[in-house]
Structure formats: structure tokens, C-alpha cells
Structure 1
């Protein structure tokens, strides 16, 4: 029975579908392993192409072809999860092709809920794949310690799984082996999808391969019937995952693999009455026998199971071994703290609680959804009847006007600046702030005036470590403008003209009321008059971390020695968002095609980065643009960015 349970959780292909290995076969394989086993792993492993050396640590896990170890870079100290495959296990061409395909596919994936691929190399004995290290191991380990999970925890994990899976499906990639052991948990209890050994590009129905692959307990009927994998197959596996988390066992597990496959083909399983009605309904939908009847990923998140139940913003690390207590939800406590900080008097606090209706758990979700109605990447529209700003519906990008006509076409919507109130129509009065604007404008103008015409961006690219905005949220109708930098610093330029930054350690806060004036606070020990703003700052950080995706593939910066960077001014038109920082970094995000321009000064040299529609970035020296020119597509955006910058002086 123990052997069957182990086998039912291992990936299978059409070549290893037998119900139970024979004892003689097991003895033969064991003897073969001892006789022809792979070269023993060294404690110190060197990548001879880069010269980097790594120290092999503890074993993290093992699969059919590979073992996974903790790897530490001996120079930087950075820790990786290293997937190590002996050459002897991939000696046949089709085996090596499988590993190469996994590497090619995984290295192109970039999402907060996908295990990050860093690097791969090989020596004469092994292939090494360096991946993001997830110190809390996997959901399988958590469930082994916990036996079952609570519904709020299941919602917490499923939201992240769906986010990662949606990204994969948008890339036309099927995972094909979704199970608890392939959901890895970071130090901060964030979930990451991993193990892309069975992943494949989505093919048209008539061209799909009929190979049976995956983990037996999670295989959908259409795969067992050799009809091929589709997006619906991953949804089926997601239903099995949800069932397993709530009940501690897969829905189709039996003592006989053949019986398990029969139950899967008939979609025959039990739903205990201990499950809530929304949970039963969602599982039933995902485990529909007909693939076309299973819900889409967006429909899953809008199901009653999610909308009518509490989802924690974070889970404590204690949840790895013990059940959490949600009687008083962290989010409810969070907003009570915010109310106490922002409203001093008892009557005001009672009025605030009454307005938010925090006494009922389901009403907290109304407040939780409040940020979802704000502007994220699109210009706001004001409802003249209610005075409430909301996001405009998507529309096709306008035809770009000639550069000399751009400034006249800019329709300003809203703006904010350090030291002034949001939506002020006044120009820049502070001499120091004006010098930042003038300096950036002069550099950009000189480039545009001297740059020749060309068909493309210069081919010579440069590396960079500057900070840029990866996520942003306009909540200026209530609090202010929030953003996240590429080092995970979160900043808010409040409507009262002050600025706060929450550093990546999530403990240190930088507060600025004017350019060049910055004080340091502790988020845990903040007192009046800062407590209310710190609370709102933390809410912005939680929201962007949970709901927004990074805006491009520029490298992330983790150098904590860099000086404090904070937003000086922001301005929105009907076409783009402009952000200017205290060090002169200037970024413009165009809404409709999601392109971005970032101008910065690094090592006494100006660099320009352009992120195109495919979220691929190119960084060049501004001097190279002046000498060689760029495409009309980029030139037009630079003209628009320059004229937006000039609006700050009007």
C-alpha cells in the first residue's frame, strides 16, 4: 500500500504505465545503480565558463532524472536550488533533448509566482540548473505536517497558483504536472510554480500529442483516453490540488492504480459534507468530465468560494506546521489600526467603522476590493454625476501625431509633486526641484535635436543597475500615488505633498516632506504623526505585491548601498504616465501598448532604456542614440515624453 501511494504521486509517461514494478525488476535496477552509478558529486562545483564556484549543501529533493541540492555562490553568498542531472541519466538523444527543452522553456519565464531560472552549466559528469531557492520547501511538505488546510489558506495558495498558471497559459505553455510537490514556498510564504520537466507548448487540438504523462492521481480523463492535453487539463489538476489541500488526499486515490484510472475516466469521487457548499461547487466544476465544461482561470477567481470567503493577505510561517487562527483576521486588524491612526476621536472612529462595516467578514471584502477599482495602467475618467474617478475602458491606441504636434495633443489629467498638494495647477516653484526638471529636459532635448534618423535602436547594448518603477497605482482620489521600484522598495507620494518609502526589508521607512530632506523611521515603531501614513504605505505594498505584475524584464536591483530614491513628481495624460525622481531618473509608461521609456544617469553617463510591447528591454547610452539615431517608433515616444516633462514648467 505504501509503495502504491508513492507510485501514484510520481510522474508517468506512456512508457511506464504498468501498475506495479516487479520485484525482480526492482532488484535489477538497484544492482545497475550500484554498478554503473554516476560520478559522486563534489562538494565544490565550478562553472568553468564563468569561473564561479558553488558550495553544495543539503539535499532538497529528488526525482526521476535529477536531485536538487542547496547551492551557495562562494563569492556573493547567494543561495540557489540546484537541479543536478548526471550525464549518465540523459545519455540517449531523446533524454538530452527533454532536458534542453526544459531549460529553454523555463529560462524564458518571468513571473512572481514562477520559480525563477537563473543559470545553467555542465561539466563532464553533470548538468546543473540554478533555480530560485524556496526555503519553506513545498506544499506537499506543508500538507504532510498539517494533514489538511483551512479554506482561507486554500484560497491564499490557489490565488497564487492561478496567477502563475494564467501567465503560463498566456505564453501558450501547459504545465502538465500540477501537484503539491511542484508548488514551492519561499521564506515569506509566497508560492512559486516549478518543475517544468513535463511542460509543453499548447498545440491545436488536431496536432496534440497523445502521450500519457503527468502524475497518476492528477491525470484528467482526456489524457488517459489519449486525446491530448489542453488548458482544461491543467484546470482539472488544479481541482485535484484543491481537493487534496482541503481533505488531505487526492480525489481519485484508491488501493489499485487501475481502479484509480477507472474512477478518473468516470469522474467518480466523493465530496464530504464537511466541505462548504462553495468549495464543493468549485471542485465539481474543475473536475467536470467534459473538458469544455470546466471553468476558465478568471472564472475560478470570481467564484463564490473566493468572493464570499476571507483570504489572508499573508500567512505566518507557523502555518507550515500548525493551523492558523482567523477568528480575528489580519486584514480586519489592519484596517482598525488604520482607522485609529487616521481618526483621533472616538466618534470619528465609530463613524469610520460604520462606513466600512467591519463588523461582518464578508463586508471586509468590499473594502478589500476598493483598490481594484482604482487606476492601474490606464487614465482615470471622472464621473460627473458622482465625482468618482475610475479606470477608462480599453481602447485602441491612437495614431501617433508628428513630433512637432505632440505637445499640443497632450491632455493632462492629474498630477502630484513633493511638497505640494495633489492636483495643484501651480508650476514648479522650488529652485532645487526646478533644476532637476530643467536638467532632465535639457538632456532629452539635446538628444532629440541632434539624433539622426535610423530604422532601429543601436545594436550595442549596455548593462545597468539603476532603479525603475515596476508597478504603480493611482489612488490620488483618496490617499496618493503608489509605486514599487525594481529593488522592491514601495513608495507613496501622498496628496498632502509628503513622501514615504518602505524599504525591501519591510521594516525601514524613509520620510520626506521636501527635496533633500529625508528622515528614517521604523514601520513597527512609528508614532504620530506618521502612523496613519505608514499604515496606508503598508497597504499599498500588500496590494501591489498580491495583485500587480512587473512591467518588464529589466534586471532587478538588490544593492542596499544605493542612495534613497523617491518620487519627486508624477503627471498623467490621456496617453501616458510620467514619473520624475529626486536623482533625475525619468520614466514614462504608455498605457495602450505598455511600452516604457526610462532615462537615468549612471556613472556620470546618461542611459536610456526602452521596454517594448513584448516587455523586452533594451538599454543604450544616450551618446549612442545621438550618434546613430533610433527608430521612428521610439523617437515619437521620446518627443511625447519630453513634452510631458515640459508640462511641469507650465
Structure 2
């Protein structure tokens, strides 16, 4: 809503570098398009807000539409026999108003957005309302205003949402004029948490501003007003609507309508918000809207000398307000910046900040670090907190064909509901249905890596995506359905992990992959002696674990003759990883010093431990064949320039901040070609599963322990949360389960968990096999994609 009346880095992200030969820098590309017409927004989903919203602060509101009539004093939801007593006006804009109401049945105070039916005559207006309801009700996050319900009467459509009694950040800024940096850090962590969550689930807000950041009773930020929000429904989709609030609009929205925009526009808005919180006015503020747009186009802003602002804050703002959207930092980049990491961070903010500047001189550095960690966790920004959009079970959604039919049915309902003559009741009925997205919009958090990019054949290779399914550490699913029930979700997800037998093609006269130091030849022998078609790594490990655990049930220990020969397997696995898949891909470092990036377009760069040679790995035949090309950091094709540039940042960040000097890491600098690389990755309820090209399977559990299974499951490597590594023959683990319980309680607990984790791994692998067999028996297999 407009003006709610609630009462109450340098151009590219600065990442540290470590040892490496110089890499090429990426190139900034100018935005050549002239300013568009700005008299009205160009709706994409039926935007009916008319003229561009007023900038803030302090540009006066530009909206000149007639004020809508007031709803009745008692608002009645006849479908639920509920009455709401209208208390007072909270905000207004366009054809809608927001009121504080009291639910007479439960005596609870809510906010109610009222949209006049007179404003819903066109398909465009109905589509916009449908999208707002559909998207908002699907989002459940501590820093997103909770959507409660929607209903109608003869004159209006009503949407009830959670009440935020402390108004908006815009209201608070008008009282305070500006905020201290500790206060801004709290607000920004919560905003970034909400933004990260929305992007994870394919939603672009497109109107992030102080007026839409509301404050609950405990002064926590809640993102509201999804009237301009858009859903990315397939990989590579770009939105082209010119919409938003002038001071907060990203340059690509205004000046690059040919290529469109995506998630990066929200990141730009967070930079504007941070500047405004610290300086007291928006960075591009002028009296005329066209002048604001010109300043945005030219990236023209400054930090007033009379407004104190730390150098770290300036650097962060400059990094975010980068004209080239591909060079803007991710949410986690921003949170890892020194402005957050080195500054004072309070645990929370009191309501008294309405009336004065709080003091934080009692907060020590240690307290700040602990407070930041807590704030991040509360905003669901930790790695182990990725979760799906609330996808409720849909009728008939237990099978793929039924779910596909559900999508088609809902699409047909939607098309009928938004027709000019269709009753509003049909629109609300359709909008209340669970959000079911097809064509690779991706139901699980893994699909947030399929963020909008340019279509195939555009300049940057990073902006090329294939319209196929993706296996990923946080985004995995099917093109046509959202996940319905937990078990069926797991089955569908793991099915994509079960790829057919791998073959490898090489170019540039590639040698065979070299074994890690100390690896016995038994591994090669075991592989070479396999008759007929080689089963894939999942099936092989599943068979081994199943046989061992079946024997355990009979009180026996099943030992494999190859266990001695393969005890050195599993030395190379993922030691550290970082997920930037909402923009680029997954970065990781292996225990042998190899650093790789699994890009969102199904290619990988794998940097040798010597930091000079790298492999370029491409997926062929739906991920069943991998083609390698070999280059050095000084000699590679021009089309790889952007990817090498990103490899530099991933390598620097991982090796300096994440990669530890653990006992199990080593540096195999002689291995300059054919390095192991990450093929697939998958998040499940209790663990993240990685599959490497050496057929090792790695399970990272949420208690921060890890388990690595060798290529056939004969060797189990366990790393506890304190990075202590133990390596076991599978028969030794099974023997532990048959031995008397150790007297030492900690040792007994460890052994019990070790066996339990092996059982968990077996269940995951059997699920992969089961669904793979069902897929093969039911017709054409799902398209698979390496990430």
C-alpha cells in the first residue's frame, strides 16, 4: 500500500583471495536503452496501480486516483460466519485500503485489506489480485506478514493479514530521521532473511521499500504488500513490467526492458533501503520523478559529509548498488560483509526506539557475533534451515499424471476466473488453491538456483539454461508439479539422483583420472572385473548396505573380500561448500585441494590443487555423459571468461573462510587433469546428499557430522561435528552393532548413531532405486540434469 498510516563493495563483491594465479576480471556492460515512458506502469500480471508509486522519503504521493469508499463498520465473512469490527484506517492507495479490525469471534486484532469490486472489472485487475493472493498465502516466514484469509461481500474483496502494531519503517524513519548502524543491522538481517526466502521459492517482491517493511509488536521486520510480486515459473524467465516505487527501482527495470529483470531487483532495493536507513533519505532522491530515473541510470548518488557513515557501510552499499545485476552480491554475500561481521549487533530492538536513539556501548564483540548468529537463525538464513514454500497436499497429487492434471485444471479455472464477466467468487476459490507450479518453477529450495537469466544464446554463458529438471543441493523436483506429501516428495526427488551408467568423453587428449595418493589398485581391479553393464553408484552402494544390514538382522557380519583393497577409497570428498545457486551455482572444495563450481547451466569448472589448471566439464545426453576440456587460468576461450571470473571468487571465499586445516585434507598438486567433481546434490529432510564423479556418496547431516560411502559402500568414512575423522570397513560397523554396549556412555552413543546413519543411507539409496524402477516401468523417464 502507499504510505501506510500505522500508528503505534566496489562494482563486484569483495571476496578475499588465497594463493592462485591471476584470473581475468569480468566486464561491466553499459545499459544502452533510453529511459522508458514513466507516466504509467506497464502491468505484467494485471497491474492496476496506474501511475508510478510515490518515492519515499520525502517525495509526495503521485497517485491521484479517487479515494475508494469505506467498507461497512462491521465486515461479515458469510462463508465462515465471522464478523470483523472495523477500528481504524491503517493505510490506503489506489483502489484499496487497509484497516485495523477485531475478529468478534476470537477477539483478535488483525489487519484487513479492502479492494473495491468496482476496481476489478478488467482481466488485468483480476489477474493482479489473483497473483497477490496466490503468492502471499503460499509464503510462511518469520519476516513476512502472515496472510490469513480472503472473502467477499457485495461491494468488496477482503484479505485478512496479521497486524503489525508498530507501523512501518517509513513511519519510524519520519520520527527518527535516521537510524544508527546497529539498529540498521538488525533490520537488514531480517529483511535479507525474508528476501532470501522469497527468492528461494521463486518469488520476486519488486516493491521492497520502507513503507512495505512493517514492524510487529516486538519490532521485528515483516515484509508486506505483494501487489507487485511475481512468480518465476520456469528457468530463465525474465519479467518485463516497469513497476515499483521510483526511488527503489533497479536500473534494469527502467532501461533494459528487452532483457527483462529477475531476483536482482530486490537486491538492489535492499541497497537503497540500507542507504536510506543510515542517511535519512533515498540515494537517488530529487523532486522530479524523471530526475530520479536519470540518477538511477547514471548511478549518481553520494554520501553527505554531514551524515556520519562508516566506510564498511559505504562499501557494502556501493557493492549492492551495482548497475550490472549479475555483479550484485547475493544475500549471503551481503551478510558475510565486514559491515555485519565486524560491527555492533544488538540481539533485538526495543519499542522505545520510536522516541529516541538507543545505546549499544555495552555490547561487546563477542556478544555481537552471538547476536548476529541468533538473528540469522531466526531469519532462517542458516544452511540447515532451507525449507519449501508451504505446499499443501493437492487432490489427486500422489502421482505425476494426477498432479499434471491438477495443474491443467487450476490453469483452466484461473483463465475462467479472471475473465471480465466472471464472478469474484470464482477468482477467490481458485486463488485459495495451493500453489502448484509447473515447467520447472521448482518446488523445493533447490530450484531457487534456477533464478532468472537471459535466454539461450545471449552473451553470458552463465545466463544459459536448459529447460530440464535439475538435481541440486537445495533445489530438486519435477517440471510440472509441486511437492504434495512428504513421502512422495522424497520419492520424486531421489528418483532424479538415479542416473543410468555413466560414460565419459574427453577432448584435448585427456588422460584417465588419476587416483589419489595412496589409493590401492584394488579399486580399479574391482571396477574392471565387473561383467556386463556396470550398475551405477547408488545401486552398488544400496546392494552392499542392504546385504550387510540383512545379515546383521540374522546376527551375522557380512565381510566383503575387497574391503582391504579399497580401504583408501573415500579420501576425496567435499570438505567445504557454499551455495550461491540463486545466482550462479554451487561452489565446493574437495579434501585434495580441488575447488569446483557447479553452475546452474549444467556445466562445471574444476580447478586443480595447483591453482593453475582447470577442467571444463559439460553434461551430455541428459547427464549420462560428461565431456571434459582442459585449460589453464592463463589460456582459455573467451566464452569462459565470466565463469573463470566467478571461479576466482568462489575459490577465494571458500579457501580463506571455509576450508579448514583438518587432519584429512591434503594437496594433490600433481593432479592437473581429470579431477573429481560434484555431479549431483540433493537436500532431504535430515541430510544433504552429494554424489561425486568418483562414485562416492556423501551425506552431510544437520548435526554437522558427515558420512562418506566409497563407490560400492564397502568403506564408511565418518566425520563428527568436531572434524574428527574415522574410517571403517562396513563389516566393522556391523560388528559394533553386535557387540555388548560399551561402558562409556559417549562411546555407546557414537556407535549407536553410526549404525543408525548407515541404515538411513541405505533407506535413501533404496528410495532412489524404487522410484527409478517405477519411472522406468511407467514409460519415459524423467529428464535428468547434472548440476
CA distance in 2, matches of 1:312, 1:238: 20
Q: Distance in 1 between matches of 2:752 and 2:228?
A: 45
d(CA) in 1 for partners of 2:236, 2:165: 42
Aligned to 1:505: none
Matching of residue 63 in structure 1 with residue 93 in structure 2: yes
Q: Distance in 2 between matches of 1:198 and 1:238?
A: 16
The residue that corresponds to 1:198 in the other structure is: 228
Counterpart CA distance in 2 for 1:377 and 1:17 is 42
1:311 aligned residue: 345
- Partner residue of 1:13 out of 18, 34, 41: 41
Quickly say closer, same or farther: Cα 1:213–1:325, change in 2 above 3 A: same
Q: In structure 2, what is the Cα distance between the partners aligned to 1:593 and 1:87? A: 53
**2-structure distance, mates of 1:160, 1:176:** 17
Distance 1:14 1:575, change over 3 A: farther
- The TM-score with structure 1 as length reference comes to 0.50
Q: Deviations over 1:157-199 (max 9, x none)?
A: 0000000100000001111000001111110111111111000
Alignment of 1:347-358 (within 5 A): none
State the Cα distance separating 1:362 from its structure 2 match: 2.9
DSSP-derived class of the 2:179 partner? coil
Structure 2 CA distance for partners of 1:45 and 1:475, relative to 1, 3 Å: same
Residues 142 and 321, structure 1, Cα contact 8 Å, conserved in 2:
no
The answer (yes or no) to whether the contact 1:90–1:96 under 8 Å persists in 2 is: yes
In structure 2, relative to structure 1, the CA distance for the partners of 1:174 and 1:18 (3 Å cut) is closer
Please name the residue that 1:160 is paired with: 190
Residue matched to 2:278: 246
CA distance in 1, matches of 2:197, 2:39: 23
Distance 2:362 2:247 in 1: 36
In structure 1, distance between residues paired with 2:293 and 2:762: 48
Contact 2:53–2:246 (CA under 8 A) maintained in structure 1: no
The answer on whether the counterparts of 1:279 and 1:305 sit within 8 Å (CA) in structure 2 is yes
Distance in 2, Cα, partners of 1:108 & 1:57: 28
Residue in 2 aligned with 1:609?
none
Indicate which of 210, 216, 233 corresponds to 2:265.
Answer: 233
Q: Shift of residue 50 of structure 1?
A: 1.2
In structure 2, what is the equivalent of residue 514 of structure 1?
none
Match of 1:300 in 2: 334
Give the secondary-structure state (helix, strand or coil) at the position aligned to 1:230.
coil
Equivalent residue in structure 2 for 1:89, among 108, 113, 119: 119
Alignment of 1:44-443 (within 5 A): 44-202=74-232, 207-225=237-255, 226=257, 227-273=259-305, 274-329=308-363, 361-365=364-368, 399=542, 405=549
Q: Secondary structure at the match of 2:188?
A: helix
In the TM superposition, residue 366 of structure 1 has moved relative to its aligned partner by 5.2
Q: Say if 2:250 and 2:268, in contact at 8 Å, map to a contact too.
A: yes
Q: Judge which range, 62-71 or 279-288, deviates more.
A: 62-71
Task: Identify which range, 63-72 or 205-214, moves more after superposition.
Answer: 205-214
Change (3 A) 1:19 1:317: closer
User: Offset at 1:202?
Assistant: 2.7
Contact 2:345 2:371 in 1 (8 A): no
User: Matches of 1:376 and 1:197 in 2, distance apart?
Assistant: 30
Decide whether the 8 Å contact of 2:39 with 2:51 is kept in 1: no
Question: Distance between the aligned counterparts of 1:224 and 1:266, measured in 2?
Answer: 12
Higher relative contact order (CA 8 A, sep 6+): 2
Q: Would the aligned equivalents of 2:271 and 2:321 in 1 still touch at CA under 8 Å? A: yes
Q: 1:115 to 1:277 in 2, by over 3 A?
A: same
> What is the CA–CA distance in structure 2 between the aligned matches of 1:404 and 1:575, rounded to whole Å?
11
Query: What residue in structure 1 maps to residue 753 of structure 2?
Result: 573
Q: Distance in 2 between matches of 1:260 and 1:116?
A: 33
SS of 2:314's equivalent in the other structure is helix
Q: Are 1:147 and 1:248, in contact at CA under 8 Å, matched by a contact in 2? A: yes
1:327-368 superposed Cα distances (whole Å, 9 cap, x missing partner)? 113xxxxxxxxxxxxxxxxxxxxxxxxxxxxxxx33444555
Q: Which moved more, 1:151-160 or 1:393-402?
A: 393-402
Query: For the residues of structure 2 that align with 1:200 and 1:211, how far apart are their CA atoms?
Result: 10
Gaps of 5+ in 2: 4-37, 44-49, 55-60, 386-472, 475-493, 498-537, 554-685, 687-700, 706-748, 772-787
CA root-mean-square deviation: 4.4
Report the CA distance shift for 1:50/1:405 in structure 2 as closer, same or farther (over 3 A).
farther
- Residue 523 of structure 1 is matched in structure 2 by none
Give the Cα separation in 1 of the matches to 2:158 and 2:317. Answer: 38
Partner Cα distance (1:180, 1:575) in 2 = 52
CA gap of 1:138–1:367, structure 2 versus 1, over 3 A, is: closer
CA offsets per residue over residues 182-221 of structure 1, 9 Å max, x none?
Answer: 1111101111111110000136797423221000011111
Match of 2:164, SS state, is coil
Q: Structure 1 residues 300, 125: CA separation in 2 closer, same or farther (over 3 Å shift)?
A: same
Structure 1 residue 63 displacement after superposition: 1.9
Q: Given that residues 11 and 214 in structure 1 are in contact (C-alpha distance below 8 angstroms), is that contact kept between their aligned partners in structure 2?
A: no
CA contact (8 A) 1:11 1:213 kept: no
Count of residues in correspondence between the two structures:
370
- Match of 2:42, SS state, is coil
Moved more, 215-224 or 52-61: 52-61
Q: Offset at 1:80?
A: 1.3
Does the 8 A contact of 2:84 with 2:101 survive in 1?
A: yes
Query: What per-residue deviation string (whole Å, max 9, x for no partner) do you get for residues 255-305 of structure 1?
Result: 222111111001010023421010000000111111122111100000010
3-state SS of 1:14 partner: coil
- The SS at the match of 2:90 is strand
Residue matched to 2:775: none
Query: In 2, distance between residues paired with 1:84 and 1:177?
Result: 19
Deviations 1:206-239 (A, max 9, x none): 7423221000011111111124221211111110
**Contact 2:85–2:102, Cα closer than 8 Å, also in 1:** yes
Following the alignment from structure 2 to structure 1, what is the Cα–Cα distance between the partners of residues 53 and 103?
43
Q: Assess, with a 3 A threshold, how the Cα gap between structure 1 residues 108 and 197 changes in structure 2: closer, same or farther.
A: same
Query: Secondary structure in 2 aligned to 1:275?
Result: coil
Partner of 1:152, secondary structure, is helix
SS in 1 for 2:160: strand
Q: In 1, Cα distance between the equivalents of 2:94 and 2:162?
A: 20
In the TM superposition, what is the alpha-carbon distance from 1:570 to its structure 2 partner?
A: 13
**CA contact under 8 A between 2:87 and 2:99: conserved in structure 1?**
yes
